[in-house]
Amino acid sequence: MPATDLEQIVNLCKRRGFVYPSAEIYGGFRSSYDYGPLGSLMLRNVKDAWIRAMVQERDDVVLIDAAILTPPQVFEASGHLANFSDPLVDCIVCKRRFRQDQLADRECPQKREGCQFTEARAFNLMFKTHAGPVEGEGTDVYLRPETAQGMFVNFGNVLQTSRKKPPFGIAQIGKAFRNEITPGNFIFRTREFDLMEMEYFVPPADGPKWYQYWCEQRMQWFLDLGIPADLLRLRTHESDELSHYSTGTRDIEFQFPWGWGELEGIAQRTDFDLRQHAEFSHQKLDYFDQSSNERYVPFVIEPAVGANRIMAALLLAAYDQDIIGGEPRTVLRLHPRLAPYQVAVLPLSKKDSLTPLAHRIHAALSKRYMCEFDETQAIGRRYRRQDEIGTPLCVTVDFDSLVDDAVTIRERDSTQQVRVAITSLESEISLRLGF
């Protein structure tokens, strides 16, 4: 059964080295997190899975990596300087600040006697800094709040250099920064996060068809990664929820322990961004279709998702507790492509006679998979540790291995064990992992 309490995941992440509070030795930095040895591997696997589905397995999407520091002209054109804000209210009694749209019935969560709010005011969520040694006029730059603008401003460059034509997409993964008023729920909402976005440029008349297509594709992606269907739903935005650039958005939502929450947004950005940048930069950002002899500004469908938020959902969905051999165990039933390690190589004991063979096996498998080597503690405890961090397969090297040139593969989910020849170990592992 998936985790029912966020604390189950928060504790496991801290205890096993997935996620630590940032700057913890100084008391922590509110709502910032560092990814430890296991978390950084898993986060990378989430991004790789996205690139695999969005770029590698398609012939119509290219990847770019644009700058984080962005001049104000870009966000003036995109509308972020004017519109990328949340409505902020102050409680004049408890002196706390809240997002007005997140307050149930406009009640102060502190519920003190006589709590009263100020009028709402727009609070821009972009982080501003300055470039160069002198602070002042003309040196302002912004940390991007979305990666999307890097793809719009490079539309012409990519069109010229990639030989793509609509329908085609530009994808990007990178850090985004938002000065969130109410960050929280662990890595669900933080002020810096890893955003994975794809701008899909299509002939305007085909917009609705591709919007439907990307909603289905993206939902299937979460299902393929093992999130149960009953923990996912697609929700259409009400008109008052839409971002300034969107004429229609659907969210893929996940059933978090605190309720349904957004995992991914799929937006119809129309030709808004390309037209704005064309106007502000005085450059042509359109496409000439030679077959129809038509020039048009493509419409854009944008699936956008945070890697960290997906990681939280994947951990919650994969968390399980069962009883093995009369003993309770915690297991992360992660998809093998997402687990930090695909294989753990475990010599039965820390004897000199076993270690060299175990190291040779680890070295061979490591060329293809992320593998751990662990020779401390009793074998049962090592299996439990691997179960708890989601490693799908353990390879145990025992004293018989020195004689019969075979090892034992143990499966995380079933705990079944099977003896295989070392010569066929790699193919047996590939068969079980599915890659």
CA distance 231 to 223: 10
Separation of alpha carbons 368 and 75, rounded Å: 43
338 vs 379 by CB, closer to ligand GAP: 338
Q: Would you say 273 or 387 has its CB closer to ligand GAP?
A: 273
What's the min distance (Å) between Cβ of 233 and ligand GAP?
14
C-beta of residue 358 within 8 angstroms of C-beta of residue 372: no
Question: Minimum distance between the CB of residue 221 and ligand GAP, rounded to whole angstroms?
Answer: 13
Structure tokens at 5: 């309490």
Nearer to ligand GAP, 182 or 415 (CB): 182
Closer Cβ to ligand GAP, 124 or 391, answer by number = 124
- Of the two residues 46 and 409, which places its CB atom closer to ligand GAP in the complex? 46
Q: Nearest distance from residue 201's CB to ligand GAP, in Å? A: 15
Residue among 147 and 342 whose Cβ is closer to ligand GAP: 147
Q: Output the smallest distance, CB 146 to ligand GAP, in A.
A: 4
Using CB under 6 A, list all residues that contact ligand GAP. Answer: 146, 148, 178, 180, 189-190, 193, 195, 197, 262-265, 302, 304-306, 308-309
By the 8 A CB rule, do 169 and 60 touch? yes
Distance, CA of 132 to CA of 46 (rounded, Å)? 35
Tokens read off for 321: 């507790």
**Closer to ligand GAP at the Cβ: 305 or 348?**
305
Q: Shortest approach of ligand GAP to residue 86 CB, angstroms?
A: 11
| In the complex, least distance from residue 216 CB atom to ligand GAP, rounded to whole angstroms | 17
Closest chain position to ligand GAP (CB): 306
**How near is the Cβ of 176 to ligand GAP at its closest, in Å?**
7
